[in-house]
């Protein structure tokens, strides 16, 4: 059965991570996403990281269920092909630096005139104004700039540290996909097409703000003590591994103390309630360390489960697919890709009762669908062959 976005066509000029992930989310939900790539190597992420068959693992995850057409947009005839694509699309997405799309002749004014109901999406790095607007951006740069790295700073030395994950890219992607569906809903209600702008800086700050910026939200006087980073949940060693225990509410902390036979800690004024417990977090951790180290991870897990204390073992990326909870909920699936071979990925997010998403198709080879898409927009076989001969269109396997 088609997904909830069946019938929506998206022309996707984005590359790297945030834009492709945003459109991959929409493809998972049934949208027809046409990935427009440049001749040569196409999206740079095709060949970065672990790869097989000319497709990297990251690219396979960020571009599944899409179709690929290769168009040389430096040539007017290439832009004409893109115009045909956009004329029949619902959404156009690009993540060029501000001003580049306009200089290429692909700006919002051109396509608004061609297709007034189009949702035109511009994803930028640092935004379209200000002294850094035209700088290139990668996730690491944004983690450094917006405060993620400082939020991850070592508690002893204060040295900033990155999250080993493209956090800002993915935060931007998730929010972009949601904003696109909102724009489509507004159009459905009679609002027409519109230009949707989102920057990685804005998305990252919004994503970071509720918890990481809680000490900088309330302005002026009369604010209670700030949240200490030392009070945040920590990973603690057991006899044979590690575990994390999070006792935000007092009753959870009391249950932990009972489970470890440390009722004295629950009665200690330094730890009895949340605020003093946060201020004395180091002392509390020292008190708990011995009790935790005496037990194996399995023993401790069973003890905490019985006491209904929030906890989790430390999962490993290499074995998470075997985890009983992951398996029970069928969160992952395996498939054979015609170019990359056997692979494993998450199922599409969200179990829609009436419009369930289909199993994703594998990410496309470079130009795999060039002729198919060109034909759909009205080009004849002769015209397509001529454009291929002139290098305007390129298909998979072409020399």
pLDDT in tens, 63-75: 999 999 999 999 9
* Residue 33, phi then psi, degrees to nearest 5: -100, 120
Is the domain of 143 the same as that of 262?
A: no
Q: Please say if the pLDDT value at position 119 is more than 70.
A: yes
The SS3 assignment for 248 reads coil
Query: Predicted confidence band at 281 (pLDDT cuts at 50, 70, 90)?
Result: confident
CATH number for 64: 3.40.50.10540
Clarify whether residues 204 and 270 are in a common domain.
Answer: no
Examine the pLDDT at 132 and tell me if it is beyond 80: yes
How does the average pLDDT of the chain come out, rounded? 94
Shared domain check, 248 and 355:
no
Strand boundaries in the chain, DSSP class E: 9-12, 32-37, 51-52, 55-56, 66-71, 91-94, 119-124, 194-199, 235-237, 242-245, 311-313, 332-337, 341-346, 393-394
Residues 6+ apart with CB under 8 A from 245: 233, 236, 256, 304, 309, 310, 311
pLDDT digits (tens, 9 = 90+) for 349-372: 999 999 998 899 999 999 999 999
**Percent of the chain scored above 70 by pLDDT?**
97
My answer on whether 266 and 297 are in the same domain is: yes
Same domain, residue pair 301 and 378:
no
Predicted TM-score of the model (pTM): 0.93
Q: Which residues contact 276 (CB under 8 A, 6 or more apart)?
A: 269, 270
The predicted pLDDT at position 399 comes to 52
Please check whether residue 380 is in contact with residue 369, taking contact to mean a CB–CB distance below 8 angstroms.
no
Say yes or no: 189 and 246 in one domain.
no
**Residue 10 near residue 93, CB atoms below 8 Å:** yes
Domain that holds residue 280: 242-313
The tokens describing 318, both together, are: 């290499």
pLDDT confidence of 8, banded at 50, 70, 90? very high
């Amino acid at each position: 059965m088609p997904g909830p976005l069946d019938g929506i066509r998206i022309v996707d000029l984005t590359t790297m991570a945030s834009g492709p992930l945003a459109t991959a989310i929409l493809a998972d939900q049934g949208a027809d996403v046409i990935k427009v790539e440049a001749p040569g190597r196409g999206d740079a992420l095709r060949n970065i990281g672990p790869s097989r068959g000319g497709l990297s693992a990251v690219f396979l995850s960020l571009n599944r269920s899409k179709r690929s057409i290769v168009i040389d947009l430096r040539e007017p005839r290439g832009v004409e092909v893109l115009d045909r694509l956009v004329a029949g699309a619902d959404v156009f997405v690009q993540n060029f630096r501000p001003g580049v799309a306009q200089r290429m002749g692909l700006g919002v004014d051109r396509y608004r005139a061609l297709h007034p109901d189009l949702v035109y999406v511009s994803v930028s790095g640092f935004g379209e104004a200000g002294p850094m607007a035209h700088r290139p951006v990668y996730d690491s740069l944004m983690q450094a700039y917006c405060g993620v790295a400082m939020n991850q700073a070592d508690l002893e030395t204060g040295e900033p540290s990155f999250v080993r994950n493209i956090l800002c890219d993915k935060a931007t992607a998730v929010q972009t996909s949601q904003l696109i569906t909102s724009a489509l809903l507004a159009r459905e209600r009679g609002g027409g097409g519109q230009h949707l702008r989102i920057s990685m800086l804005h998305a990252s700050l919004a994503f970071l703000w509720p918890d990481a910026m809680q000490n900088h939200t309330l302005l002026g006087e009369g604010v209670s003590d700030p949240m200490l980073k030392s009070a945040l949940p920590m990973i603690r060693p057991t006899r044979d591994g590690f575990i994390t225990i999070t006792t935000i509410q007092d009753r959870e902390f009391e249950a932990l103390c009972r489970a470890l036979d440390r009722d004295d800690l629950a009665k200690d004024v330094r730890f009895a309630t949340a605020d003093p417990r946060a201020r004395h977090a180091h002392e509390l951790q020292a008190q708990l360390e011995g009790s935790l180290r005496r037990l194996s991870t399995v023993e401790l897990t069973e003890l905490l489960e019985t006491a209904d204390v929030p906890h989790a073992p430390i999962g490993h990326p290499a074995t998470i697919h075997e985890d009983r909870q992951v398996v029970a909920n069928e969160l992952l699936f395996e498939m054979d890709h015609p170019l990359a071979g056997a692979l494993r990925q998450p199922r599409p997010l969200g179990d829609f009762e009436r419009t369930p998403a289909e199993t994703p198709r594998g990410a496309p080879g470079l130009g795999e669908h060039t002729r198919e898409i060109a034909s759909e927009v009205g080009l004849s076989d002769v015209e397509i062959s001529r454009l291929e001969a002139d290098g305007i269109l390129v298909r998979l396997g072409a020399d």
